[in-house]
Amino acid sequence: MTLVPEFQTSPGMRDILPPESARWQQFVHVFAQVSESAGYGQVISPLLEDLGVFQRIGDATDVVTKEMYDFVDKGGRHVALRPELTASVCRAFVQHRPLTPWKVWYTGSQFRYEKPQRGRYRQFDQVGIEVLGADDPYLDVEIIALGWAFFRALGLSKVTLLLNSLGEPADRARYVDALRAHFEANLIELSEASQQTLLKNPLRVLDSKRLEDAALIATAPRIAEYYSPEAAAHFAAVQAGLHALNIPFTVDAKLVRGLDYYRHTTFEYQGGTLESAQNALGGGGRYDGLVESLGGPATAGVGFALGLDRTLIACDDEGVFASPATDVDVFVVDTTGGLEALLLTNQLRAAGISADRAFENRSMKSQMKVADRSGATFAVIIGSNELDAGAVVVRPMRTGDTADSTLSGQSTIPRTELIEYLQKALS
Ligand code: AMP
């Protein structure tokens, strides 16, 4: 009978263990490269903020009303674990007043008390970017293109892009009135849940995936009929920019996205092969009012966030972006007591050669087994004969998969020449 441990991860929380953790790290590394190549700097925000920071996102969203991990801390402050990072970035902007445009990228865990399922967890990681202080449609295009470049860098080729515009706030307000009138006139055809959503924000009804709402959503008024000339021009410029960069997209008039503060451009990246519930890899858009509602000056903002889990599921589905190899270069086998292995691994690591070793003074045979399992390219072996002679034996471990002559046989090397020998052999 296997014993069930007393403590396990809470529902929706996971341990990310090696080698999967190396894949996560590489994922963030690729995102950092794409972002930093475009002049974005990383912002590292706290996991915990005043609850009010997130309440500014809007009170018609499940994220704020139902899914927040909030509590009163020992100092009596009502705080919350962050459910997303846009609000934290805007709070940081108000607090530190950086020069604009402020171009930042981020990564980290978010917390939402949701029903756990594949691709949906209570603690999950995102990467994202935000730009505050520039209201230029080509910036929307830059951002969308960076997400696109990131997917390409991971090797994904089946991601699709949905695009919409919510117009200027006044357009949006007129549209919301029209939507409300449409749904209210047909209230009994709407699901119970969507009737509740309607009371708070008619736009969010368009987000409903419930079958019983589909007919009424299909006949709802379209946002495009409410665009002001400015909003229409902004949207046209975004589309022209995407065309110029050869980024394919589909305009989806129902794409309103979860949060209440969006205006103008909204977009979503969808995986090519995922089931629809986990289809959204991420998305974003342009927002205003958020910086202002957090006590700052009226400031334009645009950004997106991508979920690691769903993007990695998409990678699995497309058979790309495997876990990177984390094998060490060298495994040191020491049968003289272990001190030599301590010295050698230290020396090798200092020279930039990754090295591991066995502990507990095991037999030669047992250490060689571990060396084999480690995936190291070379075993460096030191026994009492080698110790007396000031030498080591270098044994290639993966002779099967190389034609390189340095890897074909073992050699005895003076210790003073070991680093140079390995550097050459590993290059
Ligand atoms: P949102 O901040 O809601 O726009 O979500 C952006 C992206 O984050 C989604 O498209 C998902 O990839 C990811 N995401 C959101 N919620 C979760 C969750 N509970 N578990 C895993 N990933 C999530």
Nearest in space to 255 (alpha carbons), one of 228, 291, 282? 282
Nearest in space to 381 (alpha carbons), one of 421, 347, 415? 415
Rounded percentage of the chain residues whose pLDDT exceeds 90: 81
* Own/partner pairs, 250-254, CB within 8 angstroms, 24+ separation: 250/160, 250/161, 250/162, 250/163, 251/162, 251/163, 251/164, 252/162, 252/163, 252/164, 253/164, 253/222, 253/223, 253/224, 254/164, 254/206, 254/207, 254/217
Instruction: Give the mean model confidence (pLDDT) for residues 51-63.
Output: 81
Q: Which residues pair with 412 in a beta bridge?
A: 393
Instruction: Give the mean model confidence (pLDDT) for residues 105-114.
Output: 97
125 lines ligand 1 (CB under 6 A): no
User: In the predicted model, is pLDDT for residue 19 greater than 70?
Assistant: yes
Instruction: Give the mean model confidence (pLDDT) for residues 295-323.
Output: 95
What one-character-per-residue DSSP string does 342-411 give?
Answer: HHHHHHHHHTT--EEE--TT--HHHHHHHHHHHT-SEEEEE-HHHHHHTEEEEEES-GGG---GGGSS-E
* Own/partner pairs, 29-33, CB within 8 angstroms, 24+ separation: 30/150, 30/153, 30/154, 31/105, 31/107, 31/127, 31/150, 31/306, 32/105, 32/107, 33/153
305 lines ligand 1 (CB under 6 A): yes
pLDDT digits (tens, 9 = 90+) for 72-103: 999 999 999 999 999 999 999 999 999 999 99
Question: What spacing in Å lies between the alpha carbon of 120 and ligand 1's midpoint?
Answer: 7
User: How far apart are the C-alpha atoms of 252 and 255, rounded to whole Å?
Assistant: 6
Question: What spacing in Å lies between the alpha carbon of 112 and ligand 1's midpoint?
Answer: 9
258 lines ligand 1 (CB under 6 A): yes
394 lines ligand 1 (CB under 6 A): no
User: How far apart are the C-alpha atoms of 87 and 33, rounded to whole Å?
Assistant: 24
309 lines ligand 1 (CB under 6 A): yes
CA distances from 70 to 9, 10, 63, 66, 120 (A): 19, 16, 12, 10, 19
82 lines ligand 1 (CB under 6 A): no
For ligand 1, mutation pick of 61, 64, 126, 281 (most atoms within 8 Å of CB): 126
User: How far apart are the C-alpha atoms of 196 and 218, rounded to whole Å?
Assistant: 19
**Do 383 and 390 meet the contact criterion of CB atoms below 8 Å apart?**
no
User: In the predicted model, is pLDDT for residue 33 greater than 60?
Assistant: yes
Atom of ligand 1 nearest to the CA of 121: 20
121 lines ligand 1 (CB under 6 A): yes
Q: In what order do the strands lie in the sheet with 378-382?
A: 355-357, 330-334, 378-382, 391-396, 411-414
Q: Which residues pair with 396 in a beta bridge?
A: 378
pLDDT digits (tens, 9 = 90+) for 152-201: 999 999 999 999 999 998 998 899 999 999 999 999 999 999 999 899 88
Question: How confident is the model at residue 325, as a pLDDT?
Answer: 86
User: In the predicted model, is pLDDT for residue 25 greater than 90?
Assistant: yes
Question: How confident is the model at residue 406, as a pLDDT?
Answer: 52
Question: How confident is the model at residue 345, as a pLDDT?
Answer: 98
pLDDT digits (tens, 9 = 90+) for 352-409: 999 999 999 999 999 999 999 999 999 999 999 999 999 999 999 987 655 554 556 8
User: In the predicted model, is pLDDT for residue 249 greater than 80?
Assistant: yes
Rounded percentage of the chain residues whose pLDDT exceeds 70: 95
Is 202 strand, coil or helix?
helix
pLDDT digits (tens, 9 = 90+) for 191-208: 999 999 899 888 889 888
The DSSP element (H or E) to which 282 belongs, if any, is strand 280-287
User: How far apart are the C-alpha atoms of 194 and 29, rounded to whole Å?
Assistant: 40
The DSSP element (H or E) to which 178 belongs, if any, is helix 169-185
User: How far apart are the C-alpha atoms of 59 and 178, rounded to whole Å?
Assistant: 21
User: How far apart are the C-alpha atoms of 174 and 1, rounded to whole Å?
Assistant: 65
Task: Please provide the average confidence, as pLDDT, over all residues in the chain.
Answer: 93
User: How far apart are the C-alpha atoms of 351 and 420, rounded to whole Å?
Assistant: 10
State the Cα torsion 61-62-66-68 to the nearest 10°: -80
Give the residue whose CA is nearest to atom 8 of ligand 1.
307
Predicted confidence band at 56 (pLDDT cuts at 50, 70, 90)?
Answer: confident
Predicted confidence band at 237 (pLDDT cuts at 50, 70, 90)?
Answer: very high
Using a 10 angstrom Cβ sphere, with 0-12 exposed, 13-18 middle and 19 or more buried, the burial of residue 131 is: buried
Strands 123-132, 160-165: pairing kind: unpaired
For ligand 1, mutation pick of 151, 260, 310, 315 (most atoms within 8 Å of CB): 310
pLDDT digits (tens, 9 = 90+) for 323-364: 888 899 999 999 999 999 999 999 999 999 999 999 999 999
268 lines ligand 1 (CB under 6 A): no
Strands 262-270, 160-165: pairing kind: antiparallel
Predicted confidence band at 136 (pLDDT cuts at 50, 70, 90)?
Answer: very high
**Gyration radius of the chain over CA positions:** 28
Question: How confident is the model at residue 1, as a pLDDT?
Answer: 63
- Residues 84, 86, 89, 94, CA torsion sign: negative
Question: How confident is the model at residue 276, as a pLDDT?
Answer: 62
